């Protein structure tokens, strides 16, 4: 069914990354749908062949808890063996939340093909486009 980008964004940084990732998939000739995490069900997202998931670091290096964590918690049980990419922005630390998220996904049998943590002080647009092209 193609590729889907699903994200949560509080300040707009991760949404901008999600749009650039989706643009990268399309620029490389792939088809891609994009949804905020509260606009798609885990079951619908799991129907896609490839998933690109974006969430910023929150709190103590964790996924956003009210919308994204419940979505992802339901999704991870449905996508064992699928290829995913994880991306998001952070403003402190060294991107430890991404390492935690990747290990969690791999423990569920998810094939994490690439990760893209972007410090919010940097413009990650070009990296996000290249990240998306990998999944086209």
Q: What are 79-118's pLDDT values in tens digits?
A: 999 999 999 999 877 789 999 999 999 999 999 999 999 9
pLDDT at residue 136 in the model = 85
Q: Residue 45: inside a domain, yes or no?
A: yes
Domain presence at residue 71: yes
Task: Grade residue 121 by pLDDT with cuts at 50, 70 and 90.
Answer: confident
- Asked if pLDDT for residue 123 goes beyond 90, the answer is no
| pLDDT band, very low/low/confident/very high, at 1 (cuts 50, 70, 90) | confident
Q: Is residue 74 part of a domain?
A: yes
Asked if residue 133 is part of any domain, the answer here is no
Task: State how many domains the chain has.
Answer: 1
Q: What is the DSSP string of 102-135?
A: HHHHHHTT-EEEEEEEEETTS--HHHHHHHHHHT
Query: Is residue 90 in a domain?
Result: yes
The per-residue pLDDT for 108 is 95
CATH number reported for the structural domain that contains residue 108 in this entry: 3.40.50.360
E strand segments, the chain: 3-7, 32-36, 50-54, 83-90, 111-119
pLDDT for 77: 94
């Amino acid at each position: 069914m193609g590729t889907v980008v699903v994200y949560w964004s509080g300040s707009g940084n991760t949404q901008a990354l999600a749009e650039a990732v989706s643009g990268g998939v399309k620029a490389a000739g792939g088809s891609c749908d994009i949804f905020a995490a509260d606009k798609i069900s885990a079951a619908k997202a799991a129907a896609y062949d490839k998933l690109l998931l974006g969430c910023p670091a929150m709190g103590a290096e964790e996924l956003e808890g009210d919308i994204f964590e419940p979505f992802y918690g339901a999704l991870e049980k449905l996508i064992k063996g699928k290829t995913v990419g994880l991306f998001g922005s952070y403003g402190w630390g060294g991107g430890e939340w991404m390492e935690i998220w990747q290990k969690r996904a791999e423990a569920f049998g998810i094939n994490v093909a690439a990760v893209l943590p972007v410090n919010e002080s940097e413009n990650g647009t070009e990296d996000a486009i290249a990240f998306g092209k990998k999944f086209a």
